[in-house]
Amino acid sequence: MHALPFGFLASPPTNGFHIGPLFIHAYGLAYVLAVSAAVVITVRRWEAKGGERELVHEVALWGFPAGLIGGRLYFLATSWNEVPPHWWGPFAVWKGGLGIWGGILGGTLAGLWVLRRRGADIPMFLDAAAPALLVAQAIGRVGNYFNQELFGGPTTLPWALEISPAHRPAGYLQYATFHPTFLYELIWNLLLAGALVWLARTRSVRAPGLFALYVAGYSFARIGEELLRVDPAHHIFGLRLNLYVASILCLAGIVWFIRIQRAGARGFAPSTSRSGGIH
């Protein structure tokens, strides 16, 4: 057993708390707070562009459950061996197990469906939502901390995360502290959100350029994270499946951003809004 380093991050003693007989899971609470923050930030940014807050609420109403479903389906498809061996196992989201890629895809598709129905300016809305999504994902990672999941390899750095023996993967039982990849991603997401807001205020970025940078920037961070993580995952040619997904999306986001800005430089006008969009 390796000794605990000085200044390590302690594991939470429980993954939730009681309110009377009701047990509140920190993982679920983090996601509720994440969605709430995303809505508040997007409303502020969308209204600043002349949009209506009701559209943001409608997108969230459809996007949140679609994101949960998409995230869970992705997890079940790629990490089925981690599903609790009970009839309710596929539905046990309170134990963790939401694949971020599936969540983003499901939530985005539902949001696009609402935006198209309302005749909104889709590129402009995507740019308004991009920083908010990063803040939401940062808050959601706190749930992983309480579940003691999705951490990196062993380390004795001062900010190493203590993981209790019950949550250590096979082959790592002798180690006490690990890379807090949840914290790395949380910090990166907040920095990237701030960078996107700064970019929108100081540079002329053709929509949905900010959303393209969100895809590229978040995926870039996940490449590094996937190289650190040691939790069970499907591998292809010795590398984690999510590493391939992150690499493809990072490249796609960069190419998408370049194409958007080049199209604007050639004189294409940004899309106009109809009912429900920018007025």
Question: Cα(first)–Cα(last) distance of the chain, in Å?
Answer: 63
Q: What is the pLDDT of residues 217-227, one digit of tens each?
A: 999 999 999 99
pLDDT band at 269 (very low <50, low <70, confident <90, very high): very low
User: φ, ψ for residue 162 (rounded to 5)?
Assistant: -70, 130
Cβ neighbours, 10 Å, residue 179: 20
- Output the pTM of the full model: 0.86
> Is the pLDDT reported for residue 189 higher than 70?
yes
In the chain, where the domains are located: 25-265
Q: d(Cα 42, Cα 51) in Å, to the nearest integer?
A: 10
Question: Which of helix, strand or coil describes residue 28?
Answer: helix
**Token pair of 145, please?**
């901390």
Query: Minimal CA–CA distance to 132: which of 188, 184, 197, 186?
Result: 197
Q: What is the pLDDT of residues 218-266, one digit of tens each?
A: 999 999 999 999 988 888 999 999 999 999 999 999 999 999 999 876 6
Q: 2-11 burial by CB neighbour count: b if 16+ within 10 A, else e?
A: eeeeeebbeb
**Token pair of 255, please?**
């190419």
Q: Side-chain half-sphere of 267: how many Cα atoms within 13 Å?
A: 0
Q: Cβ-count burial of 211 within 10 angstroms (0-12 exposed, 13-18 middle, 19+ buried)?
A: buried
3-state secondary structure 122-182: HHHHHHHHHHHHHHHHHHHHHHHHHHCCCCECECCCCCCEECCHHHCCCCCCCCCEECCHH
Average model confidence (pLDDT) across the chain: 88
Q: How distant is the alpha carbon of residue 133 from its chain centre?
A: 7
* DSSP character at residue 205: -
pLDDT band at 82 (very low <50, low <70, confident <90, very high): low
